Structure 1
Amino acid sequence: MNIANFDLNLLRVLDALLREQNVSRAAERLALSQPAVSNALNRLRELLDDPLLVRIGRRMQPTPRALALEAPIRSALRQIEQSLAAGETFDPAESRQRFSIAVTDYVELICMPSLLDRLSQHAPGIGIDIRHLSPTLPAEALDKSELDLVLGRFDDVPARFARQHWMSETLQLAVQRDHPQVDGPPDLERFLALRHLWVHGGQTRGMVDQWLGEQGLSRQILYTTPNYLQAAHIVAGSELVAVLPTQLARHFARLLPLNLFDLPFALGPFHLEIVHLAQRQRDPALQWLIVEIQAVAEGARHA
């Protein structure tokens, strides 16, 4: 295909169609009429010799060719935007930008209230859309700009992503305040004898069970859940105990009848990171948001 004969505005239309999978919603996103978007789609189908999106019920399903083009087109549009914006100043006080961030419910609880407070003071027009974070890095969503950044704990991060340390966290044992078997810090034998709740977060094995396994030991896990916030309430109302991140455990110990104890073995801290596409390191809006998120962690360390 000769790029000289290709209307690059059509790429914006294709990007919107792939995001929305609906002509009407894509037209709204682009501030165009529905017939204009339909005409653009027909031109794209002719130029690329592919149907691109096929109607199935009320949705339009992307073809394999369209899916293969999605990430490269979105990346190219992002680079063009950044190049055109080079040298421009970002004014958070006037911005109406929305950011999509993937986090666990635990990170949302410890980060977002403070971040929203900072935004209300310095950037009242900026919006945040939170997505659930799976145990693995959502690389495809970052590549497609469906996510601006993620906050979490990751083992493997491909080189095309930038990663920054956000905060370090430790673990504590949370138990019901009047637990009949726990009236003080438990030793290892008592810890193993307790009935445990485990917040798995989609993982097959956590830090505690990995350490126990290395020692040839195991604990009784009678209840598993992906939800940290529900875990604290369940522990407060039952004889189950749970190992929780310290900041989360301390938060709920102020609200619920919980006692907190150090673990009877040394695990050390785990580390949470901010991850985003490396090519967006020149995006002034995103970098401003990262500085704000870093400030939240700094404030928590001194609280």
Structure 2
Amino acid sequence: MAYIFPMNMSNFDLNLLRVLDMLLREQNVSRAAERLALTQPTVSNALARLRDLLDDPLLVRVGRRMCPTPRALALEGPIRAALKQIEQTLTTGDAFQPLLSHRQLRIALTDFVEQLCMPPLLAHLQTAAPNLRIDVVHLAPNLPTDALDRGDLDMVLGRFNELPARFTRKLWRRETLRVAVRRNHPQVINTLDLQTFLQLRHIWVHGGQTRGMVDQWLAEQNLQRQIVYTTPNYLQAAHLIAATDLCVVLPTQLAQQFAELLPLDLYDLPFALDPFELDLVYLSHRQHDPALAWLSEQILAIAQP
């Protein structure tokens, strides 16, 4: 059995962990150097030192990419979590100065929520926090717990059911649904009843969900609609129905915005559904991060249309 000698941490430059974290994110020395505000030779030298200290190549060139080794992949999560914890420990209790901050915060959401949230938020940040950087990533059907735990994401904004106990949920807004069809649709004249609704051919925008409220209600009534196209993009769905005889169920605020831009008619659902909730979610232990707390307050303040 091989004996593994423990590393002498007194001789280990912890700044190397920041370099390794960024190299694993970017898998490219030049991009990592740019994001770290270092020169490319400095990052290359740091990688060489890491390889020597850890006795592993860590990243291996494959074509134009540098692919992590199994050892690097095993280190990625713990290193990122440790760096995030250090950052939070050092910033806890510090006053956040939005006018001066250059923090970068990453949020996962759907294009629907982005359309409702980001225009007023960015207009506000333009004067309140002009150097704050917001990176948006697409929200998948399930809560991205791993990305939140690793620190790859700071918060998510969307519709969620059960959450693990380590997360905090804050209500952002409540939404209802409307049915949208193209103007002068041959099957929909003045009103939309349930029979016509079921006869229509539907686009389903899954919006980060594995099953929609409409289909759940229909299943409970032993009914089913004809879905012929699915997409994660609300904007694309609105343009598709404007050019076809398909229909789509959209959140009310978004449907009203689209109806102002496209030749669409909007109708109430031919059955009653309760409003659904959109929540702001983040790891509970991060509530003491002043930048995250400040941004959360700004998002919650623009909740209502």
Alpha-carbon separation, structure 2, partners of 1:66 and 1:28:
21
Partner residue in 2 for 1:106: 112
Distance 1:179 1:282, change over 3 A: same
- Aligned counterparts of 2:29 and 2:264: Cα–Cα separation in 1: 52
Counterpart amino acid of residue 259 in structure 1: D
Task: Determine the structure 1 residue equivalent to 2:154.
Answer: 148
Q: Are 1:254 and 2:260 counterparts?
A: yes
Pairwise CA distance, 1:282: 1.2
Cα 1:255/1:150, change in 2 over 3 Å = same
Query: After alignment, is 63-72 or 289-298 more displaced?
Result: 63-72
Two-structure CA RMSD over aligned residues (Å): 2.0
Using the size of structure 1 for normalisation, the TM-score is 0.91
Per-residue deviation, residues 126-154 of structure 1 (Å, max 9, x unmatched): 22222222111222322332222211112
TM-fit CA distance, 1:47: 2.6
Q: Report SS of the residue matched to 2:274.
A: coil
Matched, 1:170 2:170: no
Q: In structure 2, what is the Cα distance between the partners aligned to 1:157 and 1:49?
A: 40
Change (3 A) 1:174 1:139: same
Correspondence 1:135 to 2:138: no
Contiguous gaps of at least 5 residues in structure 1: none
User: How far off its partner does 1:208 sit?
Assistant: 1.0
1:30 corresponds to 2:36: yes
Shift of 1:292: 0.7
Deviations 1:59-82 (A, max 9, x none): 111122211221221121122122
The aligned residue for residue 243 of structure 2 is 237
- How many residue pairs match? The answer is 299
2:223 aligned residue: 217
Q: Which residue of 2 aligns with 1:90?
A: 96
Shift of 1:183: 2.0
Q: Which letter does structure 2 place at the counterpart of 1:143?
A: D
Change (3 A) 1:86 1:226: closer
Cα distance between partner residues in 1 of 2:260 and 2:40: 53
Moved more, 139-148 or 165-174: 139-148
User: Paired residue for 1:6, among 12, 17, 27?
Assistant: 12
Following superposition, the deviation at residue 284 of structure 1 comes to 0.6
Match of 2:3 in 1: none
- Cα deviation digits, residues 215-240 of structure 1 (max 9, x gap): 11111223332211121222223222
AA paired with 2:110?
Answer: T
Gaps of 5+ in 2: 1-5
If the length of structure 2 is used for normalisation, what is the TM-score?
0.90
